[in-house]
Every structure is written in structure tokens, then in C-alpha cells.
Structure 1
Amino acid sequence: MSKFYGIGVGPGDPELLTLKAVNCLKALDILVVPQGRKGGQSEAHIIASPHLPSSVAVIARHFPMTANQKEMDDAIDPIAEEIKALVDSGKSVGFVTLGDPMLYSTYIYLLKRLKDQIEIETIGGLSSYSAMASGFNRPLVEGDTPLLIYPCTEDLSDLEQKLMTHESIVLMKVYRNFDIIKSLLMKHNLIKDAVAVSDFSKPNEKIYDNLETVNFEDISYFTTILINKGWQK
């Protein structure tokens, strides 16, 4: 049946895809894979590749990494129209995205445009921070403690206050502002409660238990910091 599928492929290890995601990939006619830069590799495609049969046609489309809304709209609108046309023609079309499709995902832009026009099914994926916590036997939260998920991309004006008032925090997309984040963690004596991971579950994975000794040059774009003040290392 013709449908559009948003498929979460998890944080990096192809074995961390759900069975539902794997079965969906195998049944597709066409898979759309996102590229952060034109002609570049798609991390999501690399993760999904071991599960893709040769019968699935793969098309790469550029999704600019920008805060400029017009630039983003100009890039995504024609991709959404292309997907709609393919589904309307009877094709089963998938789109792969890192982690979970509903968490800071490029897929959300497509979902907003297409949700009232074609049939859509979203298949959840394992989020990076959840996989990291399990991979290191390091609890994120216990009891009734809230968990704060904080994207560190642009405005960090309230980050210091959040670090002071929350017990358990996930800092995502820390790459660009790593030096600022590190300074705040040191200022509030949170280094001992934090662990950073670059490229989790990938061959080049790096774990940083002591952020005081880590510099911006050491980490990769895909770096997340977990903080749990109540957890004893």
C-alpha cells in the first residue's frame, strides 16, 4: 500500500534499529535519505544500509543545516512535493532519520507539510541519550525526578539556571558551544556528575568521563552530555 514512512534508525549501531523499522525498510519501494551538505554522506543512510535490499531505490536530498527559516523552507518544500507525488503514484516511500523521528528531527519538517495530504506512519527509534545511558549502565533519572533535555545550539542564556535547578539533564548538540558548556559545568562543580560521548555506538565512539581534560577539538559534531547529580560513578 502506498504510504509515507518516517523511520528512526537510532544513534549509530545498525543492530539498534527496531524490528519494525527493519521490516519497513525491506518493504519500501523508495527510500529518501537526508544529506547535511550537498554530495555529502547521510549518517542515517549508513546506519540503515545493512538492512536495505537492492530492490529499494535510494534518493538523496539536501536538508540545509541552517537557522534561516526561508532557506529551510525553500529546500524542504520541493522535497515534500516530490514525496507526495511518489506516494500518490502508488509508491511506498520511506525517510530515515537519526535517533527518534519526533526528537529534534528533520523528519518533523516533512511531517508538518504532508500530514493532511497523504497517509503517514512514523516508526519510533532509539534516542541517543537513552541508548548511551543503557550502554554505560548509567541511570538518567530515578523515582519522580524530572529529566531535562536541552538543545545547546543557539541561545544558552538560561542554561546556567537550568544546570543549577535540575538534577538530571541531557545536553544535546553541544558541539558548537562546547567551551561555554564546559565552563559552566566547571563553575558549578558538575564535572564529576557528567559524561560526554561522541559518535555513540559507532566505530569511532569516544567516551569522556572527565570533561575538564577535554577540548573543543577533541569532540565530534555528534556529541551529547549526560548529567545526573544523584548518580555515583
Structure 2
Amino acid sequence: MRAKRLGSLYGVSVGTGDPELITIKGQRLLQETSIIAFPMGVNGKQGLAEKIITPWITPQQKKLPLYFPYLQDEQQLKQAWKDATETVWEYLYQGLDVAFACEGDISLYSTFTYLAQTLREDHPQVTIQTIPGVCSPVATASVLGIPLTLGSQKLAIIPALYNMAELDQLLSWADVIVLLKVSSVYSQVWHRLERLNLLDHAFIVERANQPEEKIYRNLRDHPTLDLSYFSLMIITGHC
């Protein structure tokens, strides 16, 4: 008896905001796949990934928003990944391919990773393919018009600081530091950089490559900032 054909899951990196910052392969898969999944927006609003891919998909394609809560509770997160996996599996089992649009790059602190891991555990026979793209650190460097690294410079990327000792450790060995999700700790980071006389080496880009993009270069003038979740700081050239 011939084995049932299962659909494939594609993780498609869609960049940080500009719909043109998608690879040709990623765009092709978005246009060829009938089921388009993406993280659900907050409070019923359109999420960033959905906004980015809007120019590339048609009304004939089925949109599949998946719920991924913004919280730290491990059990609730695992349940959300499990629920999202089973939603996607319903289509894969029917032989339908699913393309998951991932903001930024699929391999850098991506929600898709948890979805793919859970799917592999529950349904190891499914084919999963990932398409790389533009991640926020390189997008931010481009917006600032600076190289992210040069020569033998050492780069550190950290998703969030939970105490300033972590920043001190990074400063002791990294030439370039990228702080993702800096909004929640900006005030503490600012005061630490002021004490170390490093404010002239720090930059912030908020919502890189999006219409609401903001750039902060002179941080000495900004001891406090009301930053969005999509804000990133680069500290460079301090060594």
C-alpha cells in the first residue's frame, strides 16, 4: 500500500520590516504555498510577520495565525507550542504544505524553532525546511550605516539582560555587543554606559526597516526612552 503523502513545513525568514528584505527563495515559497502561518498579533492586531508578507500573498491562500504568548511560564509556553503544532499538523496530514513566516531570521531566537522542535517530537516523519534571511543585528547595522564587525573583532549577541553584571562580563571580552529587547532594561544600561564613558559608542534603532523606524545616536541626550519591544542597541568600538 502506498504511504500517505504528508505536507512539508517551511520556516521562511521575512526580515525585520521591509517586505523587500526577503530572499527570492522565501518569496517563492510564500507565493507557492497554500497555507501561510505566522505568529498571531497582540490584542487582535496584525502581527509584524503578517504585515511584512502582505504584499506577497493572495486572498486565495489560507492565513493561519498561531498563538504564542509573551510570557516566561515554561508550562504555558510548552502548551502553546503543542497547540500550534497540532493546528499545523492538521494541514500537513492532509498533504498540504505550510509556510511559517518568521520575523527576522529563522535561526536567531525564533518562535519557529519551538514549533519545529515540537513537531519533530510528535511527528518525526514530517519534512521541515528552513529558509534563512535578514536578522535584526545586521539590519540595524545597515540602518546605522556601520559595519557590524571588522577584522578580528569579537561579537556578542544577547537577547535580554537580567543584571548589569552580564553587561560587565560582555564588555570584558567582546568588541561589539548587540542587546536585543533592550527596552526593558534601557535605563540601567544607560547608567552603566555613562559610568564607563561608553555612551558615545552606543546606538539604538527602534523598529528597523519599518515605517516607524527611529534611530538614536546621541544617547547622552537620552537618559530615558520609551522604547518599543522591537528595539536593539549596538555597543561598538569600545576596546
Scaled by the length of structure 2, the TM-score of the pair is 0.90
Q: 1:81 aligns to what? A: 86
Asked if 1:58 corresponds to 2:63, the answer is yes
Superposed counterparts of 1:15-94, under 5 Å = 15-94=20-99
Q: 2:127 aligns to what? A: 119
Deviation, structure 1 residue 54: 2.1
Match of 1:145 among 137, 144, 153: 153
Would the aligned equivalents of 2:207 and 2:213 in 1 still touch at CA under 8 Å? yes
Deviation, structure 1 residue 12: 0.5
Classify 1:14/1:215 alpha carbon distance in 2 versus 1 (closer, same or farther; 3 Å): farther
Structure 1's unaligned 5+ residue stretches are none
Q: 1:218 aligns to what? A: 226
Distance 2:159 2:96 in 1: 35
- 1:7 corresponds to which letter in structure 2? V
Deviation, structure 1 residue 212: 2.2
- 1:69 corresponds to which letter in structure 2? E
Q: 1:197 aligns to what? A: 205
Deviation, structure 1 residue 55: 1.9
Q: 2:191 aligns to what? A: 183
Q: 2:136 aligns to what? A: 128
Aligned pairs, how many? 231
Structure 2's unaligned 5+ residue stretches are 1-5
Distance 2:78 2:43 in 1: 16
Classify 1:217/1:227 alpha carbon distance in 2 versus 1 (closer, same or farther; 3 Å): closer
Would the aligned equivalents of 1:38 and 1:62 in 2 still touch at CA under 8 Å? no
Scaled by the length of structure 1, the TM-score of the pair is 0.92
Asked if 1:170 corresponds to 2:200, the answer is no
Would the aligned equivalents of 2:206 and 2:228 in 1 still touch at CA under 8 Å? yes
Distance 1:205 1:68 in 2: 31
Match of 1:99 among 90, 99, 104: 104
SS of residue in 1 equivalent to 2:157: strand
Deviation, structure 1 residue 36: 5.0
Q: 1:8 aligns to what? A: 13
Fraction of identical pairs, as percent: 33
Distance 2:224 2:183 in 1: 7
Would the aligned equivalents of 1:37 and 1:63 in 2 still touch at CA under 8 Å? no
Classify 1:153/1:161 alpha carbon distance in 2 versus 1 (closer, same or farther; 3 Å): closer
